[in-house]
Structure 1
Amino acid sequence: MTSADGTPVRVGVFGLLGSGNLGNDGSLEALLGHLRAAHPEAVVDALCGGPEAVTTRFGIPATRMHWYRGEYRTASRAHAIAGKALGKLVDVFRTAAWVRRHDVVIVPGMGVLEATLPLRPWGFPYSLFLLCASGRLLRTRVALVSVGAATIADRPTRALVRWSARLAAYRSYRDTQSRDAMRTMGVDTARDEVYPDLAFALPAQRASTPADPSDPADPSDPAGTVCVGVMDFHGGNDDRARAEEIYGRYLDATIRFVRALVEEGRAVRLLTGDECDRPVVSAILDAVESPLVTAAEPASLADLMKEMAAADAVMAIRYHNLICALKTGTPVLALSYAAKSDALMTEMGLGAFCHPAREADADRLLEQFRALERRSPELRRTLAERNAEAARRLQHQFDSLTAAVFPAADHAHTPRKAP
């Protein structure tokens, strides 16, 4: 696609990309797949958390989101605090200069309008606000595509998120509750649509000898592998006072769950979704010393899907771990830390198989897991139907995005160069 003057459309992508979170990078991969197929002439680059990783993996130029390189480290010394403060000012001009070089900037998926995990207002919410405000001032369309949202109690964070959404030229959400949350926080969502998470647009990964969903399974057969997706989970913004208690309970329940499977002769494959999850894997391996327990080192959502496609069943906590299992048609039990997980599981027909992560109980987990395996053939058929519907709806999402934000001859503007 080209602008009215014949120059290629410049598309920017924005987010915490290349920073070790497989779900975020999977959303970027899905978007790039669409752009390369539907808009091959578009010139794409990124403003992101890990520019080197994004360029290496996806082959697009990328710029660091923050001027201050210690942005993600806790600032305790005076020079670090001063560096962060100066960085917030410098980022106003850096973000605006980057935005003005584009016709459209896309924030692909991710929970950018929520605070279900610990989050400070001067972190990503501030960066997102700078992006959306710059887009409005410089007449560059900013699109929030299939993003997650949740009602936020903290007033500064709530205000930044609300204004970011208001200033965006296009908004769509990955579930109905996200749209409802933004409406609750004062955003007019009358024209906003709901579509599946962008990760559902990724190519499906299958095991080399996939099971036939119509074949009855023997729930007493202990031979099948179980994938367990883990997370460095300490609760959300409102749980800071009991973060260690929540983590201890979650880890203990997961260890007991894994140990019970091993005692039944089941092979267990531990999976992560972010680099920060590796200590959890180590803790489980130390607690359950058995050759039946192994750990994978996935580098992408495709890697996760390959692992899960080969498994009989999955128990996972990270949102995009759940998506990977659902996408491959593998029955999954969700250790749910936010309402988005419950909504996803309900949408895909597995709403009965959610367990609260903050109140994790190993005995109840095992009970639910065995019920999940007993219904495996039925659930696999359901997932095949729901995945087909998700693919159809995501194609509609991409068509809607093109119509709404890509420059056409009657409303294009020429990309401007930074001063």
Structure 2
Amino acid sequence: MSTAGTSRPPRIAIFGLLGSGNLGNHGSLDAMLRFLRAKHPEAEISCVCSGPEELERQYGIPSTAITWYQAHGPGRTRLTTNMRKVFGKVADLFRMPRLFRRFDIVIVPGMGVLETTLELNPWGWPYALFLMCVSARLAGAKVAFVSVGANVAHERANRWLFTSAARLTTYRSYRDTYSRDAMRQMGLDTSQDPVYPDLAFSLPDPVLQPPVRASRPTVGLGVMAYHGTSADRARSAEISADYRGKIVEFARRLVDEGYRIRLVTGDPSDEAVVSVVYDDLRQTRPELVEKRLVREPAESLGELMQQLAEVDLVVASRYHNVQAALKLSKPTISISYGVKSDVLMGEMQLAEFRQSIRSLDVSLLMDQLRALEARAAGIEPAMRARNAEFAASLERQFAVLSATLFGSDTSVPASSDQ
């Protein structure tokens, strides 16, 4: 369908923290691209993202850096770098309006774009998101936040930037009721905002090879470079060391009990934790490490899902490691760093199989794993049924998006699946 009132194809910008290697964010992009290419193949698609060179390499989509600073990079000294950052914030006031005059539609596909669960500077992503929404709407473009994640931002600047950006959207939906409630608590009118599942639940399952059965199950161990939130900056090193130490202890116990481990990640920064686990087992369990430990990087959520498809049980920290495992109906334990993981585990009726990353108990984790293994056969059918519901719900959202963004209706739909 052409843009309403013109004969040319619609020009779409996909906006987000993409191209930096975060597999969860790329999974949301993959899902949105599948929808656009299937239902609106005439659309001209570009990306405005944090890693344009990498995104173009992986997807072949014309891409532009979100900010002036990302496009030009740091200076040679700390002083010149700081000066470039300050200049960039001013330059973006003029750069972004010119950039978004090129587009008819701007889509923010999924991701935790309204979250503060990890370290976040208001002058970084929140400012860029707000400035994009202002620039796009001034240019007459429609803006859609699709199945995004949110939490209550306690920093006043982040709260104002997030709610102000959301008010400028043509369409917005959330990936769970917790996210919608968080935006309502921050003062946004969410009475017409629908809730649909995470976009990655619409992705196809990987093609499976015949399983090779081992004497003991393989555990997919999803690790992350965890340092706490913005409020924890003074203790970030301590928090990170505590998490790594407990993951190492858990890995030792797994191999001692005969389990195989497949280490999985969701961001390039996680490789540091993978190395810590591998190096420890190579030193403390040299006779077992090559037999019972697999480490293979993944470049996409699809590759990650292929890896997880080959395991029996999953214990993971990153939200999209947990989400991908649940999508594959794998019995899963979540080491949760945010409520979003707890909510997702509850929706899959696995709330008892989770722990907070801040108070992780390795002995309890082993007990949970044994209980999960014993109940796996009974859990998996219910997970498959829930996944079918999620996929059907997302198909309904894609139909709404087609009507809202590619038709004449610019109102936020009133219906919600949850």
**TMscore range, shorter length:** over 0.9
Give me the identity figure in percent: 47
Equivalent residue number for residue 270 of structure 2: 277
Give the unaligned 5+ runs of structure 1: 212-216, 412-419
Alpha-carbon RMSD:
1.9
Q: Number of aligned residue pairs: give it.
A: 402
Work out the CA distance in 2 between the residues paired with 1:140 and 1:179. Answer: 24
Work out the CA distance in 2 between the residues paired with 1:203 and 1:153. Answer: 37
1:7-46 to 2 correspondences below 5 Å: 7-46=8-47
- The answer to whether 1:152 aligns with 2:167 is no
Work out the CA distance in 1 between the residues paired with 2:367 and 2:258. Answer: 17
Work out the CA distance in 1 between the residues paired with 2:75 and 2:183. Answer: 30
C-alpha displacement of 1:383: 1.0
Work out the CA distance in 2 between the residues paired with 1:71 and 1:268. Answer: 41
| 18 and 338 in structure 1: CA distance in 2 versus 1, 3 angstrom threshold | same
C-alpha displacement of 1:397: 1.1
C-alpha displacement of 1:51: 0.8
| 98 and 232 in structure 1: CA distance in 2 versus 1, 3 angstrom threshold | same
Q: Over residues 17-65 of structure 1, what are the superposed CA-to-partner deviations in whole Å (9 max), with x where a residue is unaligned?
A: 1111011111111100000000010111011011112112222110111
Equivalent residue number for residue 62 of structure 1: 63
Q: State the TM-score, normalized to the length of structure 1.
A: 0.92
SS for the counterpart of 1:333 is strand
- The answer to whether 1:322 aligns with 2:322 is yes
- The answer to whether 1:134 aligns with 2:127 is no
Answer yes or no: is the 8 Å Cα contact 2:74–2:81 preserved in 1: no
Work out the CA distance in 2 between the residues paired with 1:238 and 1:152. Answer: 12
Answer yes or no: is the 8 Å Cα contact 2:75–2:84 preserved in 1: no
C-alpha displacement of 1:70: 8.1
Work out the CA distance in 2 between the residues paired with 1:94 and 1:228. Answer: 43
Equivalent residue number for residue 255 of structure 2: 262
Equivalent residue number for residue 235 of structure 1: 228
Equivalent residue number for residue 112 of structure 2: 111
Work out the CA distance in 2 between the residues paired with 1:187 and 1:317. Answer: 30
C-alpha displacement of 1:101: 1.3
C-alpha displacement of 1:239: 2.2
SS for the counterpart of 1:194 is coil
Work out the CA distance in 1 between the residues paired with 2:49 and 2:189. Answer: 28
C-alpha displacement of 1:210: 5.5
Single out whichever of 343-352 and 112-121 deviates more from structure 2: 343-352
Work out the CA distance in 2 between the residues paired with 1:51 and 1:379. Answer: 41
Give the unaligned 5+ runs of structure 2: 283-288, 411-418
Q: State the TM-score, normalized to the length of structure 2.
A: 0.92
Work out the CA distance in 2 between the residues paired with 1:378 and 1:352. Answer: 15
SS for the counterpart of 1:41 is coil
Answer yes or no: is the 8 Å Cα contact 1:249–1:360 preserved in 2: no
- The answer to whether 1:288 aligns with 2:281 is yes
Equivalent residue number for residue 246 of structure 2: 253
Single out whichever of 106-115 and 78-87 deviates more from structure 2: 78-87
Equivalent residue number for residue 346 of structure 2: 346
Equivalent residue number for residue 214 of structure 1: none
| 61 and 85 in structure 1: CA distance in 2 versus 1, 3 angstrom threshold | same
SS for the counterpart of 2:27 is helix
Equivalent residue number for residue 125 of structure 2: 124
C-alpha displacement of 1:237: 1.9
Q: Over residues 156-196 of structure 1, what are the superposed CA-to-partner deviations in whole Å (9 max), with x where a residue is unaligned?
A: 11111111111111110001000000000011101100111
Answer yes or no: is the 8 Å Cα contact 1:29–1:58 preserved in 2: no
Work out the CA distance in 2 between the residues paired with 1:346 and 1:138. Answer: 41
Answer yes or no: is the 8 Å Cα contact 2:46–2:62 preserved in 1: yes
| 74 and 188 in structure 1: CA distance in 2 versus 1, 3 angstrom threshold | farther
Q: Over residues 93-146 of structure 1, what are the superposed CA-to-partner deviations in whole Å (9 max), with x where a residue is unaligned?
A: 222122121111000001000110000000010100001111222221110000
For 1:174, the aligned partner's letter is R
Answer yes or no: is the 8 Å Cα contact 1:232–1:276 preserved in 2: yes
Work out the CA distance in 1 between the residues paired with 2:6 and 2:72. Answer: 39
C-alpha displacement of 1:266: 1.4
| 75 and 196 in structure 1: CA distance in 2 versus 1, 3 angstrom threshold | farther
Work out the CA distance in 1 between the residues paired with 2:75 and 2:344. Answer: 33
Q: Over residues 291-337 of structure 1, what are the superposed CA-to-partner deviations in whole Å (9 max), with x where a residue is unaligned?
A: 11221111111111111111110100001101111111111100000
Work out the CA distance in 2 between the residues paired with 1:105 and 1:178. Answer: 21
For 1:104, the aligned partner's letter is I
Work out the CA distance in 2 between the residues paired with 1:396 and 1:210. Answer: 34
Work out the CA distance in 2 between the residues paired with 1:75 and 1:393. Answer: 50
Answer yes or no: is the 8 Å Cα contact 1:9–1:42 preserved in 2: yes
C-alpha displacement of 1:75: 10
1:54-203 to 2 correspondences below 5 Å: 54-69=55-70, 77-203=78-204
